[in-house]
Amino acid sequence: MTSRLASLVRLLALAGGLAGAALAGAGAAPLEAYGRLPSIEQAALSPSGGLIAIAQTDGEKRTVTIVRAGSDELVVRLRAGDSKIRGLAWAGDNHVLITASRTAELTDVIAPRAEWYTALDYNLKTGASHTLLEDAKGVLGAVYGEPDVRIVGGKPYAFVEASTFVGEEGRLSLFRIDLDAAQSKQLGDGWPNTEGWVIDSAGQPLAESEYAEQGGHWALKVLHGADWRQAASVDTKYGFGGFVGLGRDGKSVLESEEGQTGFREFDVEAQTWGQPFGGVANAAPLFDHMTGRAIGVYGLDGDDGRYQFFSAQDQAAWDATLRAFKGQTVSLLGLSADHRKLLVQVESPTEAPAIAFIDLDANKASYVATVYDDLKPGDVAPVRSLAFKAADGTPLTGYLTLPNERPAKALPLIVFPHGGPATRDEPGFDWWAQAMASRGYAVLQVNYRGSTGFGAAFREGGYGQWGRKMQTDLSDSVRYLAAEGTIDPKRVCIVGGSYGGYAALAGATLDPGVYRCAVSVAGISDLRPFVAWSLRQNDVSAQRYFDRFVGAKGPNDPRLDEVSPADHIGAATPPILLIHGKDDTVVPFEQSQIMADALKRAGKPVEMVVLRREDHWLSHGETRLQMLQATMDFVEKNNPAQ
């Protein structure tokens, strides 16, 4: 953190923000500086605000380090080995909950190959640790999602959902774990269609959500004495947003309805819906970790992340924090129980993200750690927002990362479509885009139609448009930048992962003549076998998805062939690189193998890189760097930056 002004600064004196040092001289950081796993993967603040838990990695092995907030004092360091840490949370000041995952197959009979989650509790007072549900009988051992935490009678409890068997049928069940005693208690079994529960602030089940895939019936149930009774329901073919947690009073249920911006509360006692609130793009609720209550909403206002707190005091505290880091992007990571101490991530336009601790009562802030240790000021390229129109007039937005120390004129371009596809690119530091820009390329990220965060009409504009207008939105963006003179249209490659990998293959086959090369990381190539595989994994929910986004009625629908890159090999002219992890449980490895075999049979230029032990999310440092190095070697060979 050589360019940070100080490790300890007064908030009220930071009117100008934390200024960075001058840009570094010529010569970009090595790819390893971008491609290694971030030094900090998770960070959480204790309820008192006195301790910070940090999940760290050296690229492969992980540790959880607990330090005193506002100082460098080490409290304890826990070795997590090669576990993939997915969540970190406090339950009181004496318990740290660590959620981790691994790619595994429980048995060949009862479960498919998948990413299975477990949760562990470390007791700072005793130094003991235990896996949640290890004492529970008839439980498969894996948990669904991260634990909820409640303090009841001064004691910390964790609430988790896990699979149990009712007869020969698997059911989702709810458990409460007394963390001090390391004892589990099953609170009840769900029904065949149970999606989950909401726990109230007193640690009692408040509501249960169900969705029947066959028929598309969503229902909310609440307790009447000892019985669960239906209180609200919706019939919807394509699923329902469902509830997302406790409402503002700790007694109502917060609900997110698909296609709507914002949330509504269901009053359990009165059994009535409140008015919508929190209407910001890509809205996500903010919760008090100890009580579970909704305390605000986060969303995007244009390119700026906006936090709206329900409490005037919380909003004032956040506004003071933003003033302290003026000109930088600030994201909330954690709050103390009194909301007077905060843990945030800070991104400046010229530096990689860093974690900071803020004490509002003391008017002080201190940096905890950088997220990417090897990146210096000047290693981060500027990002420019774009707004333009597709050929059919549809308004589009995106982000262009420009290489440092090169004029924005006739640059070589890498089109970098996001995955999902029902997500979006956001402003801020993107390690992959920054790595590619560091080699001298402009990098374009487009929120093509079907992306979320721009209203229901824009998202629905992507329905049935896989390989069609969702694809031409990307090539239209290339033509827009070429007309501006920013890029050289003869020097364009496309690189993407997951759906972005599909878009890279589609760009080389379904929308030819735009790209000099294509790199697909864990991309879909042949939709017939992929849809069939998805149906085996997820039953009719997968069919609803492909009905909506691809416009296909089943694995034998000929429309799947129309938008499958593997069925259009003859149109492929640019060289293609395929990269795929062997442990991918989202897009099976065979999708890249199908494409490689088809290209080889047709005599087309293709290379393939197999990532051993890697999942869909590039969770291992060694193979993530292998992916990045192979990508840039391939792009630089086929589309040199100079």
Which element (helix H / strand E) includes 313? helix 312-324
| Residues 474, 603 within the same domain | yes
Give pLDDT, residue 303.
66
Same domain, 458 and 604: yes
Contact criterion met (CB below 8 Å) for 304 and 328: no
Residue 534: give the domain boundaries.
527-563
In a domain, 336, yes or no: yes
Q: How many domains does the chain have?
A: 3
Q: Both 538 and 506 in a single domain?
A: no
pLDDT above 70: residue 241: no
Asked if residue 555 and residue 468 are part of one domain, the reply reads no
Helix, strand or coil, per DSSP, at residue 632 = helix
Q: Which is it for the CA torsion 368, 371, 376, 381, positive or negative?
A: negative
Same domain, 597 and 452: yes
Among 534, 512, 539, which Cα is nearest to 524's?
534
How far apart CA 641 and CA 439 sit, in angstroms, is: 7
Range of weakest confidence among 204-213, 348-357, 495-504, 531-540:
531-540
Last residue of a domain, one of 375, 409, 438: 375
Q: Which of 537, 563, 589 is the last residue of a domain?
A: 563
* Stretch 50-75: mean pLDDT: 91
Give the pLDDT band of residue 32 (cuts 50, 70, 90): very high
Residues 511 and 533 both lie in one domain: no
Q: Is the bond leading into 421 cis (omega within 30 degrees of zero)? A: yes
| Per-residue pLDDT, 279 | 64
The terminus-to-terminus CA distance of the chain in angstroms comes to 31
| 616 inside domain | yes
Buried-exposed string 378-387: b where 16+ CB fall within 10 A, e elsewhere:
bbbbebeebe
Task: Work out the average pLDDT over 65-84.
Answer: 90
Do 549 and 609 belong together in one domain? no
Spatial separation of the C-alpha atoms in residues 3 and 375, rounded to whole Å = 11
Are 598 and 615 spatial neighbours (Cβ–Cβ below 8 Å)?
Answer: no
552 and 576 share a domain?
no
Residues 510 and 421 in one domain: yes
pLDDT in tens, 590-617: 999 999 999 999 999 999 999 998 999 9
CATH number at residue 443: 3.40.50.1820
State how far the Cα of 521 lies from the Cα of 418, in Å rounded to an integer. 12
Beta strands in 74-204 (DSSP E): 74-81, 84-90, 95-104, 114-123, 129-131, 139-143, 148-152, 155-166, 169-178, 183-189, 194-199
371 phi, psi to nearest 5 deg: -85, -30
**Of the candidates 553, 608, 387, 595, the residue with the CA atom closest to the CA atom of residue 484:** 387
Is the entire prediction scored with pTM above 0.75?
Answer: yes
* Lowest mean pLDDT segment, chosen from 10-24, 56-70, 329-343: 10-24
pLDDT tens track for 319-364: 999 988 888 889 999 999 999 999 999 998 888 899 999 999 999 9
Asked if 507 and 611 sit in the same domain, the reply is: yes
Least confident of 104-113, 375-384, 449-458, 505-514: 104-113
* Domain match, 356 and 432 both: no
How much is the pLDDT for 260?
A: 55
**Rounded mean pLDDT, 159-177:** 86
Mean pLDDT of 163-173: 79
